[in-house]
Structure 1
Amino acid sequence: MDILEAIHGRRAVRDYADKPPSESVIHSLIGEAVWAPSGINLQPWCFFVVDDPATLAACSAEAKALILKQTQLHPKLADMRERLASPQFNIFYNAPVLIVICSTTPDEMALKDCCLAAQTLMLAAHAQGLGTCWIGFSEAWLNTPAGKARLGIPVEFRPVAPIIIGYPSGPTQATERRKPDIRHVTADKS
């Protein structure tokens, strides 16, 4: 698959087949992710792999409880209250694997580097027939002491990119893209 095909074909997948990717496939995806660029090649990332269904379900429940509390403070989340309150809703969409990419240093550039690694991982997964989705709903909980303890993430690390991975249960439709807002900067004429 060519890179432009991967960029245009990758989708956020929220429905997975009951077939987990093998450990070797997950390790190969992480091996691709570390080829992402990073500021002065520090590679300030660490990858935590969660593939136990019970752990994923517990993490989902704990993250949902925290988000439900936050909906009181954020009116934009109000529409999600009913869904988040449902015991049937799993924020990881029953995906078989969660990879949490964490920054290992506290600087802001490390966060950007982890985002680049996440995008590289998602494109590599798509090229191998896998689906992915960045689960923003889990980020606040993952950054709590309880979330870090649950996954064995060191206190000084910062969870940045929680990516679920699995085989899609079917095709995922493309969403519309807005026309890019391009603004050319011209030389100052003063």
Structure 2
Amino acid sequence: MKHTPLVEKLIQSFTCLPGVGPRSAQRMAYALLERGRDDGRGLAAALNAAMDGVKQCRRCRNYAEQELCPVCQDPRRDPGLVCIVASPADVLAVEQSAEYRGHYFVLMGELSPLDGVGPRELGLDVLEARLNEGQIQELILATGTTVEGEATAHYVLDLAREAGVSVTRIAQGVPMGGDLEFVDGATLAQALRGRRPFSS
């Protein structure tokens, strides 16, 4: 059975979301059409508002509805401390720890020349300009440990060194409550290299 053009377009629209294949998209479309018309209209309105109203913060590139995001506007945050993350989801993860009171710089990805993602696409020219302003004292690298994440970290490290800015990297390794027997060797090695003095 073929769908009508409008139903087909709705299904195809859902497949642009990560992890949503044709079957899942069809279920979503049917759910909205069968019993969720008001929810569908609300979803459409929220999508339109977000697509028109959400942009990137001019200082950190995180999502914002004004020139600056709420973190960059907050006078209680330390502007000399900047955490480099790959995505806005990483900002949320760090914020949920309630341990960090500095600023961020959101790359919106990682270096991947094969995919056409170079320094400019990640806003590293913007970061370089901020480093040269002289306000940043420390960069915290919180990029992933993939090949792309490591390449990105090294590129940022070079920029920071040229500007005379200190660079640290978050320790990565064994999760809280995790047993060593279930941790892979590479993760365990990283945890050992990132060890810190133990204090009570």
TM-score tier, shorter chain, comes to under 0.3
Q: Which has the higher contact order (CA 8 A, sep 6+)?
A: 1
What is the TM-score when the length of structure 2 is the normalising length?
0.25
What is the TM-score when the length of structure 1 is the normalising length?
0.26
**Pair member with larger Rg:** 2
